[in-house]
Amino acid sequence: MKFFSYLCGRFVNKTESYMKRKVILLGLLLAAMTQVEGRAADAQTGASASENLAKYVDPKIGTGDHGHVFMGANVPFGMVNAGPTQIETGWDWCSGYHESGKKIIGFGQMHLSGTGCGDLGDIGLMPAYGDVELTREGIASDYRHETEMAVPGYYRVLLDRFSIMAEVTATERTALYRFTFPRGSNNARIIIDLENTIGDEARDTRVIPVDDYTLMGYRRSHGWANDQIVYFCMRFNKPIHNWLSEGPDAKYGQATFEVNPDDQVMVKVALSPTSEANALINLNAEQGNAWDFDALANAASEAWNQQLSRIKATFRTERERTIFYTAMYHYMVAPQIWCDATGDYMGCDFKVHRGADYTTLTTWSLWDTYRAAHPLATIIMPDRMRDYAKTMLAMYREWGELPVWHLVSNDTYCMVGEPAVPVLADIILKGEAKDIDINEAYEAVCASMLPTEYAKVRRVPLRGKDYLAELGYLPYDGREGEVVGKSMEYFIASWAAAQLAGRLGHKEDSVRFYDISMNYKKLYDRRVNVMRALDMKGEFRPLPENFNPNQQTRDYTEGNPWQYTFLVPHDVKGLAELMGGDKALDKRLDDLLAASSDLGEGAAPDISGLIGQYAHGNEPSHHILYMYNYVGQPRKAQKWIRQVMDELYTDQPAGLCGNEDVGQMSAWYILSALGFYQVEPCGGVYQLGSPIVEEAVIPVGEGKTFTIRTHGGSDKAIYVKKYVLNGQTLKGTTITHEQIMAGGTLDVYMTK
């Protein structure tokens, strides 16, 4: 990692004129970028597993189109995502950054990655010279992608307005910035911005100097997270020459510094969900008194390399390897740490809970991630499952139900269903619930699914679950909208609850939940062969003239009748029988992929990545191609899965066909590249597909590894002749979690 000292050193000759310095600075930046690109180009696709896998990551992938990914510096699952926030706003700036953005307003310490809603961007820093207008527009600087660079754990950009080089790296709870000021003066300054973020409103702020080097404060805001508070402590490597502020509760403050030409001002920023004092503890715990930027950047890179090494894979092409390891990188942004180094955290009850013996997590995009991101975690990160389960159960104790879409101590209740239920059930059914109170977990599942019957205390919104208990589905003439989307998701979660109840010996509950899960059959309108809304009497919404299943209606969540007709991952064979048998489902899948992609007016932008009406850019479609396996057509599954991997994932900024959705889009690719996918929402039965890895080695614990090897693959040889597990040819198209975690080798023989 010697290139960091080249990238991060002093770029200019102090004896040159100001304009000449700018030319030299730009030249050295371009040279540095060329060097790093050369390092990546030198990496061979068949390189040894001991190589640094972080160099195959391209953080620019997903910053274009509607990927909404984070750009900046972080470490895996860190609380801090430190990076640029752009002046532009709108849907494509949910993370604060988009490839098309023209100006940067500062560097926030928290950013989302791949969401469909915007928030965070808290505690902004902006280096500047002289007096600037303290507004979003007034502090902004233009920049160019030519002087911008990002690798895992490090980000750098030249702010053209001030000719200031900004660099940042990170630990779990802290960021370290290095600002290079090209000309000396006592007007060099760093603006602390508690006003401008991403789509929220500052309600209460404070920033105060503690000594000549240290500031402390907090920011409380209202946005997607209804009541968010984050505390901070920041420390400079130079004494503050002058502190400019309108008072401790002002939304801006300015720390000025006396600097020489090409001087560097460094600042450490630590966050805490509980207090300013704990922010200071986090700062000391993770950075101490050291000011070695390069060493910290190297450590961040190594942290990424260690996590990326959970799968060591080789590929036929450099393009595939870049896409795969960038997917791993995006997948490992969240769930994020939401506790101090002491174990203290801010609970869903907005009380500080002290000294937890596990790592509390946040940023749970569960409607998206229960489908692939969490099943993948049970394979490659079983050591994290205790934190997942304990965090969920703490939320249940504090709030009354399992999380839906948890963000910084708030449940946003974004999206539908009860998606934590299959996640928690999957962890338990796979035997990964170490040190977990299984009885409490089961209680949490029941209380979350049917609160009118099981909850001890009613503190949370019902979200239509009283209808679920009474009718077995949500009616369109009740108080809920999107009733098909909500009902179908509740059916999936009910099936997961039934599996858990059955495993734990709760037979009556198992039957009750299973019966609810089968109510998808009531929503199937045989007149038009799609899922449609029922009223309280069990009658379908009247069919409109010229009914078109391509058209989204208010009864579906980010989808239309086409996509939701196949949202039965828990009972594919039952869906086939409902349609008239395996051949009927096979044909219906063919029809889905051959349908017109015209969505009509008013369709949600999330319905993207279309092949016919299969929408890979949104999660309800993610299991559909694997359904061909259930009807005896694995070659069709393999054909379409490979087409999605080849065409809808690229190595360009517009390389994602929809929101990254906090790791789900990437998790689908990772699993599919390995050659399997968990269609059923929990339990560990994986459908086999068409792997693109040449070899992948996954450590599965106790010194064992699971290895996937493909033989005879090519651009045309995308079909599977046979799967051989530990020397024995597999019958059928499934492999189990138990078989994977036992270790061994899966040899996949490809054919045209």
How do residues 612-636 score in pLDDT, each as one tens digit?
A: 999 999 999 999 999 999 999 999 9
How many angstroms separate the CA atoms of 253 and 35, rounded? 38
Nearest to 395 by CA among 383, 385, 407, 379: 407
pLDDT in tens, 475-520: 999 999 999 999 999 999 999 999 999 999 999 999 999 999 999 9
Res. 99: pLDDT tops 90:
yes
Res. 180: pLDDT tops 80:
yes
pLDDT in tens, 447-458: 999 999 888 776
pLDDT in tens, 115-142: 999 999 999 999 999 999 999 999 999 9
Res. 556: pLDDT tops 60:
yes
- CB count, 10 Å around CB of 524? 17
> What's the pLDDT at 12?
31
E strand spans, 636-718: 676-678, 685-688, 693-701, 704-711
Distances (CA, A) of 502 to 328, 378, 432, 437, 542: 34, 21, 18, 17, 38
> What's the pLDDT at 535?
98
DSSP state of 439: H
Please report, rounded to a whole number, the percentage of residues in the chain having pLDDT higher than 70: 93
pLDDT in tens, 409-456: 999 999 999 999 999 999 999 999 889 999 999 999 999 999 998 887
pLDDT in tens, 641-689: 999 999 999 999 999 999 999 999 999 999 999 999 999 999 999 999 9
Mean pLDDT for the stretch of residues 254-277: 97
Distances (CA, A) of 205 to 229, 246, 268, 409, 655: 9, 12, 20, 18, 38
Instruction: Tell me the pLDDT band of 349, cut-offs 50, 70 and 90.
Output: very high
Residue type, 374: H
Q: Of 171-185, 197-211, 447-461, 655-669, give the lowest mean pLDDT range.
A: 447-461
To the nearest whole number, what is the mean pLDDT of the chain? Answer: 92
- CB count, 10 Å around CB of 469? 17
Instruction: Tell me the pLDDT band of 32, cut-offs 50, 70 and 90.
Output: very low
> What's the pLDDT at 459?
76
How many angstroms separate the CA atoms of 341 and 720, rounded? 48
pTM equals 0.93
At 207 the three-state DSSP class reads strand
Instruction: Tell me the pLDDT band of 219, cut-offs 50, 70 and 90.
Output: very high
Please name the CATH architecture into which domain 312-741 falls. Up-down Bundle (1.20)
Contact 454, 447 (CB under 8 A): yes
Instruction: Tell me the pLDDT band of 254, cut-offs 50, 70 and 90.
Output: very high
Residue limits of CATH 2.70.98.10 in the chain = 73-307
E strand spans, 210-262: 214-222, 228-236, 242-245, 252-259
Res. 31: pLDDT tops 50:
no
Res. 25: pLDDT tops 90:
no
Residue limits of CATH 1.20.1610.10 in the chain = 312-741
Res. 6: pLDDT tops 90:
no
How many angstroms separate the CA atoms of 710 and 463, rounded? 46
> What's the pLDDT at 426?
98
Res. 705: pLDDT tops 60:
yes
> What's the pLDDT at 50?
54
* Burial class of residue 723 in the structure, from the number of CB atoms within 10 Å of its CB (0-12 exposed, 13-18 middle, 19+ buried): buried
Instruction: Tell me the pLDDT band of 726, cut-offs 50, 70 and 90.
Output: very high
- CB count, 10 Å around CB of 12? 21
Q: Which fold has domain 73-307?
A: Beta-galactosidase; Chain A, domain 5 (2.70.98)
At 626 the three-state DSSP class reads helix
Q: Helix axis angle, 483-504 relative to 420-429, nearest 10°?
A: 20
Can you spell out the DSSP letters for 39-54? HHHH--TT--TTS-GG
Beta bridge partners of 365: 405
Structure-token pair, residue 132: 């600037």
Contact 284, 616 (CB under 8 A): no
Task: For the chain, give the number of residues.
Answer: 752
How many angstroms separate the CA atoms of 453 and 447, rounded? 8
Instruction: Tell me the pLDDT band of 603, cut-offs 50, 70 and 90.
Output: confident
Nearest to 252 by CA among 280, 224, 274, 219: 219
Question: Which is it for the CA torsion 659, 663, 669, 672, positive or negative?
Answer: negative
